[in-house]
Structure 1
Amino acid sequence: MPLARQSRIWPYGGVHRWPSGATSEPHTHTRGHLVYAAGGVLSVHTEQGTLIVPANRVAWIPAESTHYHRTHGDTDMRIVFLPPSLALRAGTRPAVLLASGLVRELLLTLTGSRPLDRGTRARLHRVLVDELREAAEQPTRLPEPRDDRLRAVARILDDDPADNSSLAVLGRRVGAGARTLSRLFHDELGMTFYEWRTQLRVGHALILLAEGHDTTHVAHACGWANPSSFIAAFTTIVGTTPGRHSRGR
């Protein structure tokens, strides 16, 4: 595992600056915490699914949730631990939330080099949680399938997101009918196969963009027939175009 180029840890948070391709060991924390990528893209892998965290998102990880991180592009990872009283308001399962401009500034202030007194930190924590409670959960959380047949489909498409096989064709490869798989996607993951595949592809696209690939390459590598259809799907899910995202806007 590549070593962090710079790390600062204190009781209420931390900063890790990782090179691209760094992966942490699976671990848990006794307190719930927020994870934010001030630069680069971070994927947070939990037992419930994978959270893709670009610069306009923040991940919430409840206490005692086993998880590990992987960086895509040089990544400036910020961690903010919440006191138990506020953590209860943040939710009981991992989630990805929209990071507004105010949320971003709060996270950067709480993890900055300037020391904060206890009262200031408590006030900033309360404002941060209030802002995040108003933020909609974002579709860059890819839930983890439980059924073995769904897991097999997920492995196929995770290995090759450009695979355009129909659900019927994939079903023959994993030993299940298209109708059965369609029902499992709905019942287990709460979405259609095509919605799930689009989210998986956008997750891969975020990673490839962080690694410096251009829009045309990313579109084809992730299964879109042309860049314009990729840009439309990416913008719908991420909230900005691939070009603006790559430029950090």
Structure 2
Amino acid sequence: MQETRQPGARHAERAPTNTNRLDTHVGIDPHHHDDHQIAYAGSGVLSITTGSGTWVAPPTRALWIPAGTVHEHRAYGRTDLHCVGLPVRCNPLGLDAPAVIAVGPLLRELILEYTREPEDRGPARSRLLGVLLDRLRVSPLQPLHLPAPTDPRLAAVCALLHADPADPRGLAALGARAGAGERTLSRLFRAELGMTFPQWRTQLRLHHALRLLAVGTPVTAVAHRCGWSSASAFIDVFRRAFGHTPGAHPR
């Protein structure tokens, strides 16, 4: 699919219900919808970024994007994107901020079927949506949000690690580059990002790992490029985060 990019666009539109194929690294520039949206990558990996950070979803997860949220998409690997638009009055999760939702086999099939169904199916389509919403209500949220800093000192440290997730330096050494002490930065990580420095760095590395796996990078290379000491250490962290090994990760 050829994506039309509109640099800097922040147009509003109704959240579509459709299926599209995005090529690796294709992006959709900042925009927002008048409706809620569920975005699901049946293959590949999809991320959304807002002013509050980045959320990433492999095929075992979906993204909840509330109405009015300015966001941009990015695809990693050949990504089959399935979007479900929901009117503002229909908020099965009761959320007013983006989130990552666990997608089990039944919810996956419901999303795929609903986005394939013609909109003129009437009652049959309405019944399908009802079941889909029921499954969403009981789907657990997943901690796959990488929050964005606002303090310039914290932002400088985070930028260093975004540029090189394998950077082994501790917070004191990174802080020296940013002009801030370790204790100050440690406090800022908790206050602004809601997690410790090691937790944030692990989350960053997992985000990068998902993107590399989506484009076929070998597991050992992913472990090295994302900063794990060994492939086995990476596999252990990945399994605890996603419930399966990187080698079994769907693409």
The 8 Å contact of residues 44 and 76 in structure 2, kept in 1 or not, is answered as: yes
In the TM superposition, what are the counterparts of 1:1-249 in structure 2 within 5 Å?
3-4=2-3, 13-87=17-91, 89-113=93-117, 117-246=121-250, 248=251
Residues 180-189 or 85-94, more deviating = 85-94
1:225 to 1:179, Cα distance in 2 relative to 1, 3 A: same
The 8 Å contact of residues 171 and 181 in structure 1, kept in 2 or not, is answered as: yes
Post-superposition shift, 1:59?
0.2
Q: Given residue 20 of structure 1, which amino acid in structure 2 is its aligned partner?
A: T
Q: Which runs of 4+ in 1 moved over 4 A?
A: 113-116
The 8 Å contact of residues 86 and 126 in structure 1, kept in 2 or not, is answered as: no
Distance 2:103 2:38 in 1: 11
Distance 2:190 2:120 in 1: 46
Post-superposition shift, 1:88?
6.4
Residues 79-88 or 226-235, more deviating = 79-88
Distance 2:153 2:133 in 1: 38
Distance 1:11 1:70 in 2: 17
Q: Aligned-pair RMSD on alpha carbons?
A: 2.0
CA-to-aligned-CA distance 1:216-242 (integer Å, 9 cap, x gap): 000000000100000011111122110
TM-score, scaled to structure 2: 0.90
Distance 1:177 1:127 in 2: 52
Distance 2:51 2:124 in 1: 34
The 8 Å contact of residues 48 and 94 in structure 1, kept in 2 or not, is answered as: no
Q: Given residue 2 of structure 2, which amino acid in structure 1 is its aligned partner?
A: L
Q: Given residue 80 of structure 1, which amino acid in structure 2 is its aligned partner?
A: V
Distance 2:218 2:58 in 1: 17
Distance 1:168 1:116 in 2: 60
- SS of equivalent to 1:65: coil
1:129 to 1:177, Cα distance in 2 relative to 1, 3 A: farther
Distance 1:140 1:11 in 2: 23
1:81 to 1:157, Cα distance in 2 relative to 1, 3 A: same
TM-score, scaled to structure 1: 0.91
Residues 62-71 or 144-153, more deviating = 144-153
1:133 to 1:154, Cα distance in 2 relative to 1, 3 A: farther
Post-superposition shift, 1:123?
3.0
The 8 Å contact of residues 31 and 82 in structure 1, kept in 2 or not, is answered as: yes
Distance 2:53 2:175 in 1: 22
Post-superposition shift, 1:3?
2.0
Distance 2:238 2:48 in 1: 20
Determine the structure 1 residue equivalent to 2:9.
none
Post-superposition shift, 1:130?
2.9
Distance 1:142 1:134 in 2: 24
Distance 1:135 1:148 in 2: 36
Post-superposition shift, 1:194?
0.5
1:212 to 1:116, Cα distance in 2 relative to 1, 3 A: same
1:123 to 1:86, Cα distance in 2 relative to 1, 3 A: farther
Determine the structure 1 residue equivalent to 2:10.
none
Between the two proteins, the alignment pairs up a number of residues equal to: 242
Percent of residue pairs identical: 45
Distance 2:148 2:138 in 1: 25
Distance 1:104 1:147 in 2: 39
